[in-house]
Amino acid sequence: MNLVLRLAWRNLWRQPRRTWLTAGAMVFSNVLLVFMISLQFGMYRLMIDNSLQAFTGHMQVQARGYIDDKKMRQTVPDIVALANELRAELNSDAVAARATAFALASSEDRSYGIAVFGVETQFEPRVSNIPGLVSEGRYLESNDAAEIVIGAVLARNLKVGIGDELTLLGSGRDGSFAAVVADVVGIFDSGVAELDRTIAEMPLGLFQDVFYMRETGHQVVVNAPRLGQVAELKQRVAALLPEDEDLVVQDWDALLPGLKQAIQADISSAVFMYAVLVILVAFSVLNTQLMSVLERTHEFGIVLALGLKPGRLGRLVMLETALMGLIGLFLGALIGGAVTAWLGVHGFTMPGMDEMGAKFNLPSRLHPDVTIASLLSGPLVVFLFSLLASVYPALRLRRLQPVEAMRSA
């Protein structure tokens, strides 16, 4: 085996320029694949984090069935006490209780239907970026004051500003009439028209009084330190829930199924682009090995005449391809991983990202997410397709006739 390996290595460098060109194509494609896949993973993480930070959170404690039928009477009992217990047991402030209702918001000029959220003013900033998006006024401070924060589009539609009053009319948990007059203390601008047009937030204590919630709410939002820790944290939260209450923990996958579908659709389109790149490299390897076989036809005819089986010649050609592929895999993964890891730490920006980050409370730099999967998946696929590309030249050797081969000199 050592003799065959040395022979394959020697044959590989008979034409060093051609070998390096082909190996260089492998290295370049592997570096590009490592960077693009890592960047794609980083973008997905950013997309998920931004979508969840806007409102949903990594997971929510809800009454069973609330996710499918959001009725006001499907509540979490003693919701603030439960939130306090979770914060203490998890040793984290990224836990916040909420309650939700639909109401008619009226100013002196206009009326619009909106979704009103009662929030724990102290802890809501730890699970949502809405407080950080307040562009006028301030965010909620007191848990009982008659104040409200609304979206920029809703403020324009209602023709209200900071200090103006809004009248909210709705239905309480028990079906009774609910009404409150609240001062607009803040206006947020998320850049998402749907949120800015339909969302308003008020202190949870005020919400519970107005809508007759009686210490109950609808969601306890819990955020994990990192997205990868959601599954583990979900199990811990589920174990802390009262056994006598019919409560469940819904993670972001269940809360936002459309987000996962969008990511899967993007992955499908990206796989097509990556496949084109891999196929181009495979054809480069095929061309190199065909040229190598044609140049050595006379030599192959001699060794066949001496009794060497065609199958061993084919395996020799495939071994040469494997060695060249390993060079491309090792150098591509090494260079691609080093460059991408550096960019993952320091990040990079593109034109317009600083302005978008400042406006929408988002990171202004992109950070590729280097993992074992992003580091090796692309180079391994290139390596396997390169081996497949060498099968055809190897099969051609099986049909090679010794006499005809020796005449081809």
Mean pLDDT, range 15-39, rounded to an integer: 88
Which segment of 17-21, 112-116, 126-130 scores lowest on mean pLDDT? 17-21
Higher pLDDT pick, 13 / 405: 13
Confidence check: pLDDT of 296 > 80: no
Radius of gyration for the chain, computed over Cα atoms and rounded to the nearest angstrom = 32
Kindly report the pTM of this predicted structure: 0.71
Per DSSP bridges, beta strands 111-119 and 199-203 are parallel
Confidence check: pLDDT of 295 > 90: no
Spans of all domains in the chain: 2-52+259-407, 59-223
The mean of the pLDDT values for the chain is: 85
CA distance 321 to 304: 21
Confidence check: pLDDT of 137 > 90: yes
362 — pLDDT class (breaks 50, 70, 90): low
pLDDT at 150: 95
Q: Which residues pair with 209 in a beta bridge?
A: none
**Residue 335, both tokens:** 């260079």
Mean pLDDT, range 161-169, rounded to an integer: 93
Higher pLDDT pick, 200 / 54: 200
Who contacts 144 (Cβ-Cβ below 8 Å, separation ≥6)? 203, 205, 206, 209
pLDDT at 302: 72
Burial of 118 (0-12, 13-18, 19+ CB in 10 A): buried
CA distance 194 to 190: 9
245 — pLDDT class (breaks 50, 70, 90): confident
pLDDT at 270: 87
Which segment of 46-60, 196-210, 333-347 scores lowest on mean pLDDT? 46-60
Confidence check: pLDDT of 94 > 80: yes
- Secondary structure (H, E, C), 123-143: CHHHCCCCHHHEEEECCCCCC
pLDDT at 99: 94
Of 157-166, 258-267, 301-310, highest mean pLDDT: 157-166
pLDDT at 89: 93
pLDDT at 4: 72
Among 49, 64, 63, residue whose Cα is nearest residue 94: 49
CA distance 243 to 220: 16
pLDDT at 310: 66
Mean pLDDT, range 107-126, rounded to an integer: 92
Confidence check: pLDDT of 409 > 60: no
The SS3 assignment for 167 reads strand
**Residue 267, both tokens:** 């992955």
